[in-house]
Each structure stands twice: as structure tokens, then as C-alpha cells.
Amino acid sequence: MIKVIFPDGVESSCNEGTTFFEVLKGHDSEILKNSVAVKVDGELKDLRAALKGDSTVRVEPVTADSKEGLEILRHSASHVMAQAVKSLYGNVKLAIGPAIEDGFYYDFDTEKPFTPEDLEKIEARMKEIVKADYRFTSDALPKKDAIALFAGMGERYKEEIISEIPDPTVSVYRQSDFTDLCRGPHVPSTGYIKAFKLTGMAGAYWRGSEKNKMLQRVYGTAFATKEALKEHLDRLEEAKRRDHRKLGKELDLFSTSEEIGSGLVLWHPLGSTVRRLIEDFWKNEHVKDDYSIVYTPHVAQVGLWKTSGHWDFYRENLYSPMDVEGQEYIVKPMNCPFHIQIYKSRLRSYRDLPIRYAELGTVYRYERSGALHGLLRVRGFTQDDAHIFMTPSQLEEEIKGVLKFTLYILKSFGFNEFDIFLSTRPEKYVGDLENWTRAEAALKGALESTGLKYSIDPGEGVFYGPKIDIKIKDVIGRSWQCSTIQVDFNLPERFDVTYRDENGAESRPIMIHRALMGSLERFFGCLVEHYAGAFPTWFAPVQAVILTVTDRNNDYAETVCKRLREEGIRAELDKRNEKLGFKIREAQLKKIPYQLVIGDNEVKDGMVAPRKRGGETLPAMPLDEFIRHIQAENRPGVLK
């Protein structure tokens, strides 16, 4: 007999060989209805797996709507999709099909790309497989038998994967006549997958390498209930409406050009206006926070990044050197070595520290073309970068200061929800463990002293130090990685950076690398999607447009436009000989916060008639009153 302990403290005794399905049924049949798997002493298991081994085990149900349950549900759905594809297109070869955040995908090697019509057929076949309610069963096979099994099916990608597995046995799963390589666990049967949808297609190189064959990736999603699936699909539709690439074109904010090169952004006048407003706010706030603004070159000798270690750790993301009079130069991939050189330009005392250098520095990194995505993943981007040099005793206070500053900047642009992660030492790192431990402790201490909730992200630090990552949440609940705070003991060592301490001896400062917005390109893309292009008044590219009813109103309208501009309000004049309704509609499509209608009454009374972009009409008012009204909104944090 094996003693089973449940999360609620209830204990029971079961025979070895009893399935977990039977274990849960005996404990609570209602919980069983919502369960897709179990945790046994913390390890995920199939419900159809059996008790064995230890005399006492802790068993926890895994429900379909939990994070782990959804991952199991989605992974099972990917197997159902693969079964559907194989039954419809027998010559297709299978690659991999994992669960991912919010869904799943499977990569297929097919002679011709799938079409939207193919997706409809695949989804229909999946529904048939779900309705048939085939059991998921598993087997452990010796590697050679597994290789022979998949070789016999012509599944060369599975053969390749199995050959690299170090274990002597591998796990395979079956449902009906379909077999796949998988560790599991899975839902008990295909009938558990009641709410799913195929969502799209893309190309994907095998193992992410351009040297390998391009495969067809089919995406899908699955949820515990049809209601949850509908909510998700509605969010996807809303995300499409907010897509910054679509809105960037519609609102004439930015573009890219294949003649210039992929991943290199052209900022149009309206987008440049928003960027300028962001930059001006950023610079002013940094000066207030005792940072010094610096500027550095776009190219430098490659030796800088060999000294820093970036050349060894990130070589695949750096551009190839160019020869300049016998010296190798590269376009800069990051700003930190430049700021170190500024620091080293003269002797520093402990009395000078902390020193804070900030730069809106444009850098260039080689991203694979398949990874590029609008403004969110580019090859040339401007980091809102800063590097702080300090004594060891100043470290925790500086981290707290950066945390406070980061949240202030993000909240000023309307982001008020965050996920915060402390990323610890990666597998490949430089420096000694004592410094890593000190740096991680300082980051943790700063987070805890400020009362911020955070999660540990093990092994995700950068090679020279641990970091805090702050992900912002937008208005529809999506997370975006923007802000980062990194502690670095190693670059000061590598570049021999020193200061004179209170005893006159040379000491080594600590560095903080930090970016509050991440990059202007990515942050701008987030802003476009967060506001669906309808920016708050204070950083809208055009704040007000003056619309004339007839040509005889033009002179007064020009006077109004001139006065607004003199008051620092970004105004435009539309005196085209078009119907007023047409001009109002066009201004709304441009998402301009205010339209000022000028007709005969407004001219006669010296007034303006404001309309908000949402359609709300304000009472006619003197121009001075409207100026005060808009100036009240014309500052960060006033998000109307």
C-alpha cells in the first residue's frame, strides 16, 4: 500500500499500480472533472500513469485552467494538429510541436506551403479527432528501437532529435494510429481538447538556422473553456486593430524600406514629433535626476568590444569589421565602452561618485531577417542608455534610485502595471562568484526595501552581471520587455577603471547599466499599440486642427492657428473647400485630440467650438480659455 497525501491534507492508502485517475476519483470526483494531469511529489504525470515506488507520495491535481494545465492542454492540441496534418497530407514530415505562451505550434516539412483553406481543413479534421476521443498512451522505448520506429515512418527530424538524447530510453505517445516523440504528460484523451482554434502560419528554419530547410509553422491556441477561447480570440482581434505596423502606416508615423535595408527605421515628420517630445522629456528628467547627458560615436575600433567581452559572447549579433587605415572598426552594438572611456578621461575621486552618464545612443545589431518585427525587433535602434559609476557602499541606494526613476518615467507615459523579474547568473559568465553574489543580493535588497513584488528568473542575467527586468503591461493586458537594470563588477575590471578612495588608494568602482524605456523604437511601438494611435494630448504629434466651415472664415482661422502655435500648441489648419463633416471625420481618423470648428458665429463672437476626437462637443469658448484647457493637459502624466 502507498500513502497518498493531497493538498488539502487528506490522506488515503492505495495499491501500487492504481492510476492517478482512480486516485483522484476516490478523493474528489468534482476535482477530477477539471483535471488534466497530476503533480506527484512536484513532478508532472499523466492521469493514466500508475502509483509505484515510494511508500508515501504527495499528489496534487492539475486543472485545465491552471498555467501548467493549459500548457499540457495546448501541447496535446499540437499532437492532435500533427495527427490531422498527417491524415490529410501523408507526405508531410514532422519536426517539433511545443506549447508556447497563449498557444502552440507545430513545424512541418511540406513540399508546398499551406494555404488558409488548408488551415480550415486541418481544423475540421482536428475536431473529428477530438470527437473520436482517442486515448493518449505512452511507451518508453530503447533509443535504437525508437530510431528504427521513426525511420520506418520516414520521420527524419524525429530521428535526428532522438540521436541527440543522452538517455538510453525515450518516450513516445500515441493516439489512435498516430505516434509522436514526446516526454509528456498529456491529457487523458483527445476529447479533453474542447476549445481550440488555428490562428496562423509562418515560415521557420529547422532549429532556427538559415543554413537549414525552411519549414511551415502552423500556430494555434487552446483553452479550458469555449468562453476563455472567445475572450482570447477577441483580444487577438483587438491586438490586430492596434498593430503598430498597421497604424504606423495609416497615421504616417514611420516606415522601412528594402532599398535601405530591413530593420532600419525611417521616422516620418509626425512620428519624429512624438519621438522629439519623448526625448525632450527624457533629457529634462535626467538632468533633474543629476545625470550628465553625453554623446558618443557610431563606430569604434573592434578592440573595445573584445576587451568588454561582447565580441566573444555576442559575436553572432555584431556586424563584421570594416578596415579603416589598417584598423578594424565596427558600428557600435552598445554604448557602455564609450561611457567607460569618458570616465577614464581623467582621475576620479570617491568624492566624485556616483557619476551618472546618460545617452540616447543609436546602436546596431545583426538580427536575423525572420526575427525582425516592425519597431519591436530592428537592426538599428536608439537605447535610452545610462551608466552609473559608484562605490560599493552606494550600490543598493543607486539601484533603488533607478527603480524609482524607471517607474516614474513609465507611469508618465501611462503604464501603471508591471511584472518585475530578478535575473540571476547564467551558465556562461565572467567574473568571480563572490561579486555575483554581492550584486544579486544588492538587487534583491533594493527590490524588497521598495516593496516591489518580483519573481526570480534563474540563469537569465547577462554575462557580466545579474539584472532586474521590468515588463510593462498595456491596456489589453500584454507584457512588453522594456526596462532593465544591470549590476556590473566585470567591465570596471576589464577596462581597469579606478577611483581614489578616502585613503588615497586606487579602488574599483561598480557599474550599473540601465535603460528605462529600452529603446525608443520598441517603446514607441508599445505606445502606438497601448493607445491604438490615439496618443495623450501632451505627446500627440498634432494637438488641435482648425476646421473652417466656409472660405470667409479663413482669415480668423489663420489667426487662431498662429496664436496656438505661439503658445506652444501643435496646431494645423484645414481650410480646404470640403464639407465640414468630411474634415471632422478625417481629423478623427488621424486621431487628433481636438478639432476647432470655425464658422460665422465663431468669427463674429471671437470664439472657437472645440470637439474631442471621440466625438464629444464642448461649449463654444474664447480662444484663451481653450489655450488654458489644452495647456492643462499638455504635461506628462495627464493622459486624456
Q: Which residues are catalytic?
A: 336, 365, 383, 385, 387, 467, 513
The Cβ-side half-sphere exposure at 528, using a 13 Å CA radius, reads 30
CA-nearest of 551, 561, 560 to 600 is 551
| Cβ neighbours, 10 Å, residue 593 | 24
State the alpha helices, DSSP H only, in 495-532.
Answer: 520-531
User: Beta 103-109 vs 169-175: how paired, if at all?
Assistant: unpaired
| Cβ neighbours, 10 Å, residue 237 | 10
- The x, y and z cell numbers of residue 113, run together, are 506551403
Q: Is the dihedral of CA 378, 384, 390, 392 positive or negative?
A: negative
Range 323-332, long-range pairs (CB < 8 A, 24+ positions): 327/301, 328/301, 328/302, 328/303, 329/299, 329/300, 329/301, 329/302, 330/299, 330/300, 330/302, 330/305, 331/298, 331/299, 331/363, 331/364, 332/296, 332/297, 332/298, 332/299, 332/300, 332/361, 332/363, 332/364
| Cβ neighbours, 10 Å, residue 446 | 24
Give the residues across from 519 on adjacent strands.
383
User: Beta 544-548 vs 594-598: how paired, if at all?
Assistant: parallel
For 314, the 3-state DSSP assignment is coil
Q: Which amino acid is at 360?
A: L
Q: Is the dihedral of CA 273, 274, 278, 284 positive or negative?
A: positive
Nearest-Å Rg of the Cα atoms of the chain is: 30
Cβ proximity of 196 and 77 under 8 Å: yes
CA-nearest of 14, 22, 58, 12 to 39 is 58
Separation of alpha carbons 378 and 229, rounded Å: 32
Cβ proximity of 576 and 550 under 8 Å: no
* Residue 9: exposure state from Cβ atoms within 10 A (0-12, 13-18, ≥19): exposed
Torsion from C-alpha of 408, 412, 418, 422, nearest 10 degrees: -30
Q: Residue 202: which H helix or E strand, with range?
A: strand 195-205
User: Which residues, 6 or more positions from 612, have their beta carbon under 8 angstroms from its beta carbon?
Assistant: 593, 594, 618
The Cβ-side half-sphere exposure at 226, using a 13 Å CA radius, reads 1
CA-nearest of 37, 29, 38, 33 to 59 is 38
DSSP state, residue 564: H
Give the residues across from 165 on adjacent strands.
none
Q: Residue 34: which H helix or E strand, with range?
A: helix 29-34
User: Which residues, 6 or more positions from 565, have their beta carbon under 8 angstroms from its beta carbon?
Assistant: 571
Residue listed under C-alpha cell 518516450: 171
Q: Residue 456: which H helix or E strand, with range?
A: strand 455-457
DSSP string, 407-453: HHHHHHTT---EEEEEE---SS--S-HHHHHHHHHHHHHHHHHTT--
